[in-house]
Structure 1
Amino acid sequence: MTLFLDATDLDGLVGRAELIDAVRAAFLDLAHGLALQPAPHTFPGAGSTQFLPMTATSDRLGLTVVKVMSDAPGNRPAGQPVQRSTVLVLDARTGERLAVLDGEVGTRMRTAAASAVATDALARPDAHVLGLVGAGRLAIEHVHALREVRAIDTVHVWSRSAATLRTFHHALDGLLDVIESPGPRQVTEAADILCTLTPARHPVVSGEWFRPGLHVNAVGAPPRPDHREIDATGMARATVVVDSTATQLAKSGEVLLSIAEGATLPQTFGRELGAVLAGTASGRQLPTDITLFNSVGIALEDLAYAALAIDHARIPDSFGTEPRLSVEVAP
């Protein structure tokens, strides 16, 4: 039987701490050869829309996922989501269709979970000031996820949108100190951990602003080779760790543009997070190092989320007879 889980079903279904653990395990699987994560290839839709099919297989979990992400900039003027996604989960051995998940909740949570895994591996242990360039739902999720791995007590945040900032304040009211900054430079210079969370085409953060000891999670730019949030100076100054080298060299504007500008080389982006976690590649060596996790997002993260969501959706209720969720089930 196939589970069909929409955004309402998935909201609150998976816990942040367990997802961080699952994403960490998935990166370790990749490093140990227990998972496959091929680089995706984009194909055009109508107008400026692009589609990105993303695939991954976990031998340990016995699952394969196919996630189709659409990137439709033309939706923005109409107030519609620019990015949408759907995740198909298959039995890796038999090919049986196990579940179809709306991608919005899982993408937001697994992206923040990956940043948390990278932060735990790369940020200074005493890091406690978080800087956010961007204040939308992904920024809110990052606050919660990073608080699972570091004692964050202060957030400096910047956004172009006053309405987005109001929502951000409301969502985090009383949780920690929130300081609105006049611009990305002030956020960067105040932070121990910086997260960039904007769909920028041109850099919004300069590497010249990086202070010794900073850790950066570069997250927001869509997987297009002409979009980036961090300039070439930032990529050259930092010890860069990536989710997947092959995917980065195919899809990351931060990577491809910094190489084109002569600031970095392809081998600059050969250090994968899984290898750092496994101890086969170095991460932060000194408290003064600048580290940067360049997160394009990979399907293996979606697989980690989907495996938890399927397990939780099938847990019997307190009477032990029905799934906990009222989900659509098809043969």
Structure 2
Amino acid sequence: MSLFEHHEFDNHKEVVFCNDEKSGLKAIIAVHNTNLGPSLGGCRMFPYANSGEALTDVLRLSKGMTYKAAMANLNQGGGKAVIIGDPRTQKSRDMFLALGDFIERLGGDYITAEDSGVAVSDLHATAERTQYVSGIKAKFTYDGSPADGNPAPGTAYGVFVGLKTTVEYALHSSLDGVKVAIQGLGHVGYRLAKHLRDAGAELYVTDIFPEQLEKAREELGATVVQPNDIYGLDVDVFAPCALGAILNDNTIPQIKAKVIAGAANNQLAREALGSVLRSKGICYAPDYVINAGGIIDIYHQTQDGTPDDLRKHLESIGDTLREIYIRADETDQANNLVANVIAEERFNK
């Protein structure tokens, strides 16, 4: 498998392939950049079709974490880990113990945390083998709710703030009565849906798990649609909250929404599509800016701060997005390209 020539390699500092025959662990850890500090990024477990698919995902995700940390004004670099396997049927404690051994060997270059398919309880096993685990000893939350280390509430609140800011900027509207299509009702997507419902938005949702859809229908009054129909709905906002690369040559022509703002990582299949969105009059919230709430939350758990400090930092996501939109309009550039320039100015100092 080609690595240095891989189209997503982008001068990664380290890429480690982890194979533990005893536990069945097959994982990849990618450290993109540590100029601003040790790399931090969650560990994801997903049934990738093959190792090449997993490699592409982890390279894109780790690079995104570098940009995310820079735009969130954190002294951290970007890294990520992926485990190849179905989290519902193949997960085991021994896998996460073995993962801890691999992370420990990196000597602090990579600090792991929770991501899709991986629970905080899984990371407690990893922490038995390495000190480089974050997000498992939370002291507080932004809203005063019980702290269990899960960064999803902070991520969802940050996305909500960013989506609200984007609607205000692009549509000159509040969220009351705004139609939002949400793709994915996981830990972040469902919490985002609740925030939006409470703000008066009208929800249209899809997910691969029927139980989540039924829950959204019953608890939030959401309209359930088929996965392939979510793109072409006559709505104001499309909120991708599942996996990446869903903004591509096939889906973008279907989108009628004038705002795209969601929690998913690496939403654009390729960077040039940001310009396509701009040409269609769609205001796109760069994913690594709007979904930075998780790493902001984790950062504050290491500080002697307060819930109010965390909330204010999460709400600064809206200010950062507004800065991007203004600069993009002034220079007639795509929002994602403007965000990239600002981030690179910060981590390449």
Which has more helix, going by share of residues? 2
* Alignment TM class, shorter chain as reference: 0.3 to 0.5
